[in-house]
Structure formats: structure tokens, C-alpha cells
Amino acid sequence: MRDVIEGITAQLDRVPLSRFAPSPTGYLHLGHLVNAICTWGITHALGGKVILRLEDHDRGRCRPEYEAAILEDLEWLGLLPDIGTVEAFRAGATRYRQRDNAAAYDSALAQLMATDHVYGCDCSRKTILARAPQTNDELCYDGFCRDRALPAEVPHGTRMWLPSKPIHFDDAWRGPQTQTPAEQCGDILLRDRHGNWTYHFAVTVDDLDQGVNLVIRGEDLLASTGRQILLSERLGRVDPPVYLHHPLITDPAGRKLSKRDFDKALRDYRAEGASPEEVLTLAAQQAGLIEAGRRIDVGELPGIFA
């Protein structure tokens, strides 16, 4: 794993600041734990700090009981954040909980509105699909509302015009990448028709606002990186974070961990009597981070990557 560390230090000349950023829409499972192992292990191997951020931008799907469970699970595992501590979340409002960070998103949106890059959109998924057949894996917006001068506020969605240029970045796990967001997803949604900030907008503002310079996440989010780099450029960021997209746990058929058949909560293992070491070891082995037979505890995470 030493080349991963070298890949980061070659691009980052400062103390790493990374984040573990689950959404309180459910309980933590082994997939989250693989991400936590990589985030704590790699960041601490480099002498950096980990922020805990709770991504509850989608207010309709988040529940306070899931937030409480995430904090409790992290404490049980011994995965204590350096910034955005468990105590700070329990004490009340904190900038590391997206629901409490509206001022940062309002201010970033005002900055973008002052340019000609933002516009209102009243299209639904259905109307976008009806206008143009889709060839990508994800929905690609066709720019239909760019010149319609709709107000960029509820009940309209708010979109940002994207230039058709390729974005290059060197993923610390997967090597050089090129993505053209204008062809993947089209103009990106910053806020939906109901007033919810979108994932891409909220995390890009947070990463800039909180000084995050190392983003460690699963490879299912690889495709979203180019558009987040573009958005961060528009927000004035000159040095985007270093990105690392690690492998996901797969089931024996090679499929990604799914909600239905592979999503056993960490607290279920705990209820069955498993120790934190056993659950950490299971996650690390299933993701191929450690060899069979090796056991790890939380203090040994940096050693996996050093």
C-alpha cells in the first residue's frame, strides 16, 4: 500500500485534512467501515486529521436516530474524529452537520448567481427523458432551460452551466483520470425543486469551506469527481483536493454491496457479540486491504497503509 501514500505526498505538500462523511439515512454497514478504515488509516499514516461530517442535505431521508446510531457506532469502534467530534455533534448545532451549515451554501450560491452560470429549471426527470434518449449510465441534462430566464429558486431547481472541457486528475489509488462532466451529466443541479441542496453542491462547498485537501471515498463516486472539481473552480478554489477512490466490498458474485442482500448493519454484528476488532478485520479482509489470517485493531489502521 506504500504507493498509495507516495501518490498522495507527490501531490499534496500540506498536512492532510480528510473527512468521513456518512449520511444519516440508515445504519453504518461494512461498506462504510471500509471507507472509515481507508480514511483514518491513510490520513493518520500521513500525520493528518480526519473530520466527521454528517451529510444530511436530503432532509426528507435523514433521521435523528440514524445520526445518534452513527455516533454510537464510531465510539464503539474507537474511530474518533479529530475535528467534528462526537461530543460536538451531541452538543447541538455544528458546521460539520450540513443542516446547520445553510449560511455557507447560501453564500456560495450567491457567489455563483453573480456570474452568468446559474439558471432556474423546471424540468423533471420525466421531461428530460422524454426530450432526448439517454446514452449514459446516468441522466444527462440537455440545457433546455438555459435561456428561458426562469427564477433560480423554489419551485424551480437551480442549475449551473458547465463548459464542455475535459477535467484531468490523478487519483491516488487508480491513477490518471479524464472526465468531461458536460457529456456525463450536463449542467449540474445545485438545489432541487423542493429547496434541497444537492450532494455535489453541498460537498464541494463543505470541502472548500472546511479546508479538506484529501478526499478518500469509494469507487462508486469516481464519476462525480470531475464535476466537483469544476464546481470548486467556479467557487474560486485554485487547488482542488487530492482524490482517492478505493475498491468497494463485493459479494461472491462480484456485485457491489447492495441494500437488500448484503447490507447487514455494524450494530447487528455487535448485537451478535462481535468485538470491534472482529468487525474491523472482517471489513478490511473483504475489501482486500489485509491478507487472510491477519487481525487488526483500530490502532493498527495506519500500519495497513504505511
**Residue nearer to Zn ion on the CB measure, 142 or 263:** 142
Distance CA 29, CA 146 (A): 41
Q: Least distance from C-beta 195 to Zn ion, angstroms?
A: 17
* Closest to Zn ion by CB, 159 or 217: 159
Question: Binders of Zn ion among 34-53, rule CB under 5 A?
Answer: none
Q: Which stretch binds Zn ion (CB under 5 A): 28-36, 54-62, 88-96, 113-121?
A: 113-121
| Span from 43-51, 114-122, 208-216, 233-241 in contact with Zn ion (CB under 5 A) | 114-122
- Phi and psi, residue 176, nearest 5°: -60, 135
Q: Which amino acid is at 304?
A: I
Whether 4 and 244 have beta carbons less than 8 Å apart is answered as yes
Q: For Zn ion, which stretch binds (CB under 5 A), given 139-147, 185-193, 199-207, 255-263?
A: 139-147
- Min dist CB 69 to Zn ion, Å, is 38
Stretch that binds Zn ion, among 43-51, 73-81, 138-146, 199-207 (CB under 5 A): 138-146
Q: Which of 35, 4, 3 minimizes the C-alpha distance to 280?
A: 35
Q: What's the closest the beta carbon of residue 196 comes to Zn ion, in angstroms?
A: 17
Question: In the bound complex, what is the minimum distance in angstroms from residue 193's beta carbon to Zn ion?
Answer: 10
Q: From the list 54, 79, 145, 257, which residue makes contact with Zn ion (rule: CB under 5 A)?
A: 145
144 binds Zn ion (CB under 5 A): yes
Minimum CB separation from Zn ion for residue 148, in Å?
7
Query: Is 121 a binder of Zn ion (CB under 5 A)?
Result: yes
Please work out the total of residues on this chain that contact Zn ion, with binding judged by CB under 5 A. Answer: 4
Output 144 or 199, the one with its CB closest to Zn ion: 144
Amino acid at 214: L
Shortest distance, CB of residue 122 to Zn ion, whole angstroms?
6
123 touches Zn ion (CB under 5 A): yes
| Beta-carbon contacts of residue 266 (< 8 Å; ≥ 6 apart) | 27, 28, 29, 30, 32, 33, 73, 77, 279
CA distance 151 to 102: 20
Q: Determine, following the binding rule CB under 5 A, whether residue 172 of this chain makes contact with Zn ion.
A: no
Would you say 75 or 153 has its CB closer to Zn ion? 153
Cβ pair 54, 93 in contact under 8 A: no
- Rounded Cα distance between 262 and 249, Å, is 10
Given a contact cutoff of 8 angstroms between Cβ atoms, the answer to whether 242 and 235 are in contact is no
| Span of 35-43, 112-120, 136-144, 164-172 interacting with Zn ion by CB under 5 A | 136-144
Instruction: Show the binding pattern over residues 218-247: x = contacts Zn ion (CB under 5 A), - = does not.
Output: ------------------------------
We find the least distance from the C-beta atom of residue 125 to Zn ion, in angstroms, to be 11
For the bound state, the minimum distance from the C-beta of residue 8 to Zn ion, rounded and expressed in Å, comes to: 39
Q: Which is nearer to Zn ion, 193 or 270 (CB)?
A: 193
Binding site for Zn ion (CB under 5 A): 121, 123, 144-145
